[in-house]
Amino acid sequence: MADSVISEFQGTSPVDIPIIDLSNPNEDLVAHAVVKASETWGMFQVVNHGIPIELMRRLKELGKEFFELPEKEKEAVARPADSTDLEGYTTDYKKDGEGRKTWADHLFYRIWPPSRINYRFWPKNSPDYREVNEEYARGIKKLSEKIMGWLSEGLGLHRDALKEGLGGEKVEYLMKIIFYPPCPKLELLYGAPPHTDLNGITFLIADEADGLQAFQDNKWVDVKYDDSGIVVIVADQIKRMSNGRYKSGEHRATMDTVRTRLSWPVFAEPNLDHVVGPLPELVLDKAPKFKPYVYREYKFLKMNKLPID
């Protein structure tokens, strides 16, 4: 039944990630497709999502312009050396356990709620940078709450259940612009190693170069971008709140030998002091599969690869 809202942009391969057309007038079919994709993949792409294509195009132009600036100008929004927060510009270059390296430049800054925004970390290279990002933030928040509403109802709960479990109006949206330089020896380097996101739900757009891969059925699948689409990645906190009903989508970023690649994920996450665990309504007659954590503690454990459950 959900196949009727799978977009015409869907690829021919049986292992393409689902692409869901949100403009279908039958909301029940759309909701069913979102729930099914979240159960089986933990990742899908939405088209006709209500965020203007021109706005997305300009957002990407501004990000590219920032990374083309001289290093000294980029360092004007650098993450302070003594900061315990993620916000700011950084270069990430480190080895994994098998000797392969990750290499990417990052720019983090919060885009919602307004009370948590620190414009000190927003680039000043264009007069419309702030306006474009603020409009995109409003669109992503609306899309996020729509998708979390469908996922909540898919669990048999009221529409705001997952949003409230993630912190309600205190849910934070963190923009991350990632710049992947070209790499001549791909076997030695990742843009980002295999992982699941530790937040609640992620919304990602990218430039024209491929690179994002999803892990499904014991193999890596290339995510085919559509310029108008947004990739939605279900992350750890929604998996845990759903008591394992929804899948946290495992993914990685690969490099290109000659081209740079950029992506713009937005992470919806709880406030650091918020406690997240299986929603109480889902564990009335069954044991919880996960224990609740203060998000700050969960984040520390995951980022330091320490045992969680």
Residues assigned a catalytic role? 176, 195, 197, 251
> Among 262, 265, 228, 264, which residue's Cα sits nearest to residue 51?
228
- Angle, nearest 10°, between helix axes 129-154 and 27-40? 90
Q: 3-class SS at 27?
A: helix
Rounded to the nearest 10 degrees, the angle between the axes of helix 53-67 and helix 129-154 is 120
Q: Checking DSSP bridges between strand 212-216 and strand 275-276, what pairing results, if any? A: unpaired
CA distances from 134 to 31, 59, 72, 124, 176 (A): 27, 10, 26, 14, 14
| DSSP at 80 | P
Q: With 0-12 CB in 10 A as exposed, 13-18 as middle and 19+ as buried, what is 268? A: buried
The helix/strand count (H/E) of the chain reads as 7, 15
